[in-house]
Amino acid sequence: MSSVVDDNSPMPEQSAPLPMSQSGGEPPMPYEVTIRMEDPMLRRVLRVILNRYMGRKRYTVALIFGYAVIALLLLHNYSWYTWVLAGLLVVGAVVPILLHSMMFRRWFRQYRAEQGEEAQYRFDDTGIEVITTAGKDQLPWQEFSTLVKLEDVWLLFTRRNNAFTILPLRDLNPGLRDLITGKIEANEGEVIV
C-alpha cells in the first residue's frame, strides 16, 4: 500500500471553533475544511469499502476450487464432477471479481463527477455543508447513520441511500474529530473502528 501523504504539500485551510463564551449563550464557531482527494487515496478507500462489502472469503473459495479442478485435470479425470467444479469456480470466483472491478470503476467515476478534485466542508452544530463542483448541499447530523474509522480516513454514511463522505484524517484537527464523533453518537449513530 503506497502512501499519498506529501510532506511538502500545504496544510489544508481550517478554522478551529472558539470555546463557548463564559455566559454560555453563544455556540462555537464552525470548522471549515478544504479537502483534496488524490486518486491513489481514493482508490485505496474504495478498495477497502468493496472488500468489506463483498468479503475476502471469495478468494479462499476460488483458491480451493481452482486447486481441486487443476488436481482433477492433472489426474486425467474428465468426469462430470470435474466440469461441475470448474463451473462453480467460474460462477463463484470469476463473476464476483468482474463485479468488483465494475463496481470499483463506477464508484470512482461517480465520486469524481460529484466531488471533483476538491471539496469545501463546513462543520457546525447543525450539520455539514458541502460545496463541490456539482453544487452546494447541507446535511443535518441526523442524516448520518455510521462513522467508519479507517487507518487514514473516516467514512460518514448517510441514512437515506447509504451514500458516504470520505474525510482524510490529515485534514481533520482533533477538535473537529471530537465534534464528528460526538454528533454521530448523539444521534444514535454507529461508530465502527
pLDDT tens for the chain, 193 residues: list them: 333 333 444 444 444 444 443 334 445 568 888 888 888 888 888 888 877 766 666 677 777 778 888 888 888 888 888 888 888 877 777 777 788 788 888 888 888 887 777 888 899 888 889 888 778 888 888 888 888 888 888 988 888 777 788 888 888 888 888 889 988 898 888 888 8
The type of residue at 109 is R
**In contact, 169 and 152? CB cutoff 8 Å:** yes
Whole-angstrom distance, CA of residue 178 vs CA of residue 147: 12
Q: Is 189 left (phi over 0), alpha (psi -120 to 50) or beta?
A: beta
Residue 110 to residues 46, 114, 134, 167, 178: CA-CA distances in angstroms? Answer: 12, 6, 11, 17, 29
pTM of the predicted model as reported, rounded to 2 decimal places:
0.64
